[in-house]
Amino acid sequence: MSSSCDALLRALKTCLLESDCVQKDGRLPSDCLKHHTDELPQPCQNLRKATFECKRNMLDMRKRFRGNTVGMGAEKLRREQTNRPLLDPIIYSPLAREMTKLPGMCTIYKIPSHLQSIRPRLPPPFTRTHTQISTMAKPLLVYIAPTPNGHKVSTVLEELKAAYGTNVIDYDYEEIVLSTNRQKEPWFIALNPNGRIPVLVDRSHKPTPFTVFESGAILLYLVRKYDLEGRFTFPAGSDEESELLQWIFFAHGGIGPMQGQARHFRQVAPVDIPYGKQRYTEETARLYGVLNIRLEGRDYLVGPGRGKLTIADLNAFPWVRLHEGAGIDLDAFPNVKAWVDRIAERPADANDNGVHETLPGHEGTVTCLQFLRNNFFLSADDKGAVRAWHRAEGRWMCTVAIQAHSRPISALAVCDNLVATGSSDSSVKIWDIRQGAERDELEECQTISLSGRYPLAVVMTMLPHSKAIILAIGGTDRNVNIWTRSENLFVRSATLPGHEDWVRALAFRSPLSSDGAANDDPLVLASGSQDGTIRLWNIEPLVKSASSINDHHVNDSGSTDELLDAFEASLADPTEGEEGGRQITLKRHIISIKFQDTGVQQYTITFDALLIGHEAGVTSLSWASQQTSTGNYLPPPTLLSTSTDSSLILWSPSDTLITSSSNSPAAPSIWINRQRFGDVGGQRLGGFVGGIWAHTSQGDEAMAWGWSGGWRRWRSVRMNTGIEDEWREVGAIGGHRGPVKDVAWSPAGEYLISVGLDQTTRIHGALPCPSRKVWHEVARPQVHGYDLVGVTWLGPWTFASVADEKVVRIFEAPGTFVETVKSLGVDGVVESEQNRPVAASVPPLGLSNKATSDAPPRVNSTRSGRRPFEGELAATTLWPEVEKVFGHGYESITIASSHSHELIATACRASSPQHAVVRLYSASTYQSFGSPLEGHTLTVTRIAFSPDDKYIVTVSRDRTWRAFVRKDNGYVSVAMDKSHARIIWDCAWSSEGDIFATASRDKTVKIWAPKTTSDRWPALATLKFKEAATAVAFCSMDNLRQLLAVGLETGEIFIYSGSKSGPDIWELTFVVGRGTAHVDHIHKLAWHSTEHDHIKQLASCSEDGTLKIMTVQVDID
């Protein structure tokens, strides 16, 4: 019986043993199966039918091609087997995540859609035209793996989502690790009897979910249901549709099978079969020739003229891009090569997306992450907690949360089912992870005391030719400590000296093949230190020569080691007047591993190379994967290192030097600096904190992140074998690295400005991409020396900011910014009529940006119409400071401007009525306007002008709000109230100016209406919450209704709707949870109306360091 039938039979037996027929009635399983079938539960009946069909297929060869028949809906069967409820078809549209530096949460990255939408549930007179929103799942679920057939489905899904938005199509995915044979398990066989990926489950299908397998069938199903405008297909019955189907079937029946066989015989087959390699390679080349003929004078396979991108192209492209694996050189097919390059630059990357999902749960700042598998990872924080996350059914869930240490966790390592955590409590703990169906367990196995030293880096891996685990610990003792485990406990085995400062980074590189010594490839350990150096250590089985068996020779060897130790110590301790160098030890460290069955096995650890290139401390190390799925080309071992000198270096052995010394197998290898990225003299910006490798369909990528809150990303373009790869910088994630205190839309809403405690001001714009607009940082006009707390626009090209100082600073856009936003295609940009300075710079020891007439060279030479990257933002996008405004006696706390942009209002920290005032200034002369607004006794926390600038409302820590009305050349007090029991954090006016709201720590938001005949303005409504309300904002929907957004201290956002004619009644329509909003105190909310009446944008900023832009879509009849 086939393996898939065995799995079905085992599942059937288990189901029978757990049924009432066996458990309660006491019958034998065989009796239940033969004579009581109708009494069996539905899962058992379906498994019985599936097993019968599978067994019959072993006899009927026609069934092998037609596939097995399963009686029950596959999705429902799997749900019942895993005891999970069957989800009703739903539509789920999560919010966009714009930026990320996320204390207290983990962040998942991929290449998704960027700006997504939500639809509030609205009360009458609105009509809901969509299914109820749920946070449980999305309409589609796809099971895929990183193969050509999986890639084609994920590509089409992303293209459709980019073209039509998540309100039309959205999906969850679950990756199937093919090596584990999950695709052969009963639940998957119930989905696809052929036991292959991909599989699509349409959970929105009525009355039950509908399953589609075979990649070509999935593509056709997707475009027929979701390609509403025919962007990737043609009208049914047309000649173009016929051509489309012809090229789909051509690739499906020709290129895929032939190229797959070519790769198998060239790379996978256990024996060399020249006929197989020649037969399928030549056939694949013939098929490429057909494509090359078709693409002569065309951009795409199907369509009039030069054609258009369709599913025919996306069906063939994932195979053709892996041409090297079949031994095909695309230079022989120029039209195909150009076609591949054209599709490779499609929106999946051109849209420059980033953050995909945020996972709340940690109470402290997340300090380290480690993946065990693609769908399972661990995270740790600075409060000593460890969490395990598992992805199932397209969703990440926390399956373990434990308090592992009493102090912050600084290092995390995984190997097989073992986890090592290093903490500033001066210990490393070893844990055994046990995975369950719904919950996992972490059981402590061992605690390693470091005797007062702190672990900064921990790595684990398997020793060659054994199941023993080697653990390397680097820390504040300047050594690399080696521990080994062959049975239950780790024992200290060796200490590797040499570094002159703390060891900050460690990384193992496993042998290139499983036979290890067969190709003389050792296990390599790289160690990086604050002394700026990297050391490489080779770990390999000890091979004893015949002469070493003699005790005399052993003693001589020991004497030789002692002499080497003494000699190396003398090198490290130069006498007076001599210049000392870094210590280089040639000592061979021997470690012994005891096994019960094979006895003692010995390994040697020897120093191999010293890499010197960084000018400051090394912060991270990462080895590039040398596994390749294309061709016979095996890239050289490459080590990525990052440093606080703002450099990222790629190291690899020198081919020339290695060849010249190949006659000496014991000789150390010579490593050279292959590539160096980053900034010269960038140490003042904090440098890089860490770096990792990423492997994408378009090439390997080296990524690094720094103290500024942003990432840098460089991508290699694979050239022909023997030619150095070409590297170029591409877009990466950006964002503040500390709490974001304020955010404001520009007057026309074309861009957004934010300030934070990372002492930066940032401007973000919606940049047009191939399929949608994507928000990115376009300028960093102010890099200050004080924490920034407030910002407001004074016009399309002017803003004012306040920081933890007594001055208001005014900035105007330089010519380079005006040119940048216009070249990037930012909508709504007004023309600049005045002459502007070209750029700005900060003089040494200065805080004020000075105008310059010379443009930074990098702006003109490398920008070329793309958005500025992190290095450019930090150095070349400053705005000149044009004015300073003084007046307050203490540090500023908040700022606001009138809607006419004629006035500026500011407040400062205060503990007495004398300083708890609001000062007004003219935005044209920057002179005082009228008298200070008095009345508060403590710090004023927010200032808000009414839409017509008639009123000013202020709120304070003294628990009061005060209203001021404009008269003559100033404002005078007109009303006040002290109904709130705690600090009032925020206030906001409605767009009509007839009501305003106040948000307080007393867990309420109150709605107020101005009353010209009284100084006691009435409270129309009180909204109560379980947590403190910290931010509030109104938005007009139409002439009848309006929205009110409320941000809480815990990060949630509540959206209410109310009638403009009845502002005393508000109904909750939607709650944005911590998983999609924030995980900490929300400081500011700001609405913006788009060109579509039913689509609004809501910007929010938080103490968790994130700025988010959410699209709220409202259905109105």
CA distance 428 to 421: 5
The confidence score (pLDDT) of residue 698 equals 55
The pLDDT of residue 19 = 84
pLDDT for res 1071: 92
Is it the case that residue 152 has pLDDT exceeding 50? yes
Give the per-residue pLDDT at 248.
93
Query: Residue 1098 and residue 1089: Cα distance in Å, rounded?
Result: 9
pLDDT, tens digit, for every residue of 305-351? 989 999 999 999 999 988 888 888 888 999 998 898 788 766 454 55
Mean pLDDT of 274-286: 92
Name 917's Cβ contacts closer than 8 Å, sequence gap at least 6: 907, 910, 932, 933, 934, 936, 940
Q: What is the per-residue pLDDT for 127?
A: 24
Sequence-ordered alpha helix ranges (H) in 939-1074 = none
Contacts of 586 (CB under 8 A, 6+ apart): 564, 568, 606, 607
What HEC string does 725-770 produce? CEEEEECCCCCCCCCEEEEEECCCCCEEEEEECCCEEEEEEEEECC
Interval 946-974: pLDDT, tens: 999 999 999 999 999 999 999 988 999 99
Please say whether the beta carbons of 144 and 176 come within 8 A.
Answer: yes
- Looking at residue 707, what is its pLDDT? 81
Beta bridge partners of 428: 422, 448
Q: How far is CA 732 from the centre of its chain?
A: 10
Share of the chain above pLDDT 90, in %: 48
Residue range 501-521: mean pLDDT, rounded: 74
Answer whether residue 469 shows pLDDT above 60. yes
Q: Are strands 366-373 and 376-381 parallel, antiparallel or unpaired?
A: antiparallel
List the single range of 479-483, 679-683, 714-718, 909-913 with lowest mean pLDDT: 679-683
Kindly give, in sequence order, each residue whose CB lies less than 8 Å from that of residue 500, ignoring residues fewer than 6 positions away.
Answer: 478, 529, 531, 533, 582, 583
State the average pLDDT over residues 687-695: 88
Q: Is there a contact between 1072 and 1043 (Cβ–Cβ < 8 Å)?
A: no
- Would you state the pLDDT for residue 420? 96
Tens digit of each residue's pLDDT (9 = 90 or more) over 161-210? 877 877 788 888 887 877 678 889 999 999 999 999 999 999 988 889 99
Q: Decide if pLDDT at 852 tops 50.
A: yes
**SS3 at position 266:** helix
Instruction: Confirm if 142 and 151 have CB atoms less than 8 A apart.
Output: no
The answer, yes or no, to whether residue 546 has pLDDT greater than 60, is: no
For the cut 50, the answer to whether the pLDDT of residue 629 exceeds it is no
Residue of higher predicted confidence among 347 and 148: 148
Number of alpha helices (DSSP H) and beta strands (DSSP E) in the chain? 20, 60
* Secondary structure class of 117 (helix, strand, coil): strand
User: What letter would DSSP give residue 468?
Assistant: -
Mean pLDDT throughout 481-492? 90
Residue 5: pLDDT band with limits 50, 70, 90: low
pLDDT of 653 strictly over 70: yes
- Mean pLDDT over 850-879 rounds to 70
Are 873 and 735 in contact by the 8 Å Cβ rule? The answer is: no
Choice among 425-429, 563-567, 1053-1057 with the minimum mean pLDDT: 563-567
Residue 559's pLDDT is 46
Q: Can you point out the beta strands (E) in 355-514?
A: 355-360, 366-373, 376-381, 385-392, 395-403, 409-415, 418-423, 427-435, 440-449, 455-462, 469-475, 480-485, 491-496, 503-509
Q: Are 952 and 905 in contact (CB under 8 A)?
A: yes
Share of the chain above pLDDT 70, in %: 79
Residues 558, 536 contacting (CB under 8 angstroms): no
Which pLDDT does position 42 carry in this prediction? 79
Give DSSP secondary structure letters for 167-195. Answer: TT--EEEEE--GGGTGGGSHHHHHH-TT-
pLDDT(609) > 80: yes
572 CB neighbour count, 10 Å cutoff: 15
Residue 289 belongs to what H/E stretch? helix 274-294
What was the pLDDT predicted at 195?
92
**Rounded Cα distance, 145 and 509, in Å:** 25
CA 450 to CA 427: how far, in whole Å? 6
Question: Chain-wide mean pLDDT for the chain?
Answer: 81
Does 486 or 377 have the greater pLDDT score? 377
Q: Which residues contact 437 (CB under 8 A, 6 or more apart)?
A: 82, 83
Q: What is the pLDDT of residue 121?
A: 29
How many Cβ atoms sit within 10 Å of the Cβ of residue 270? Answer: 5
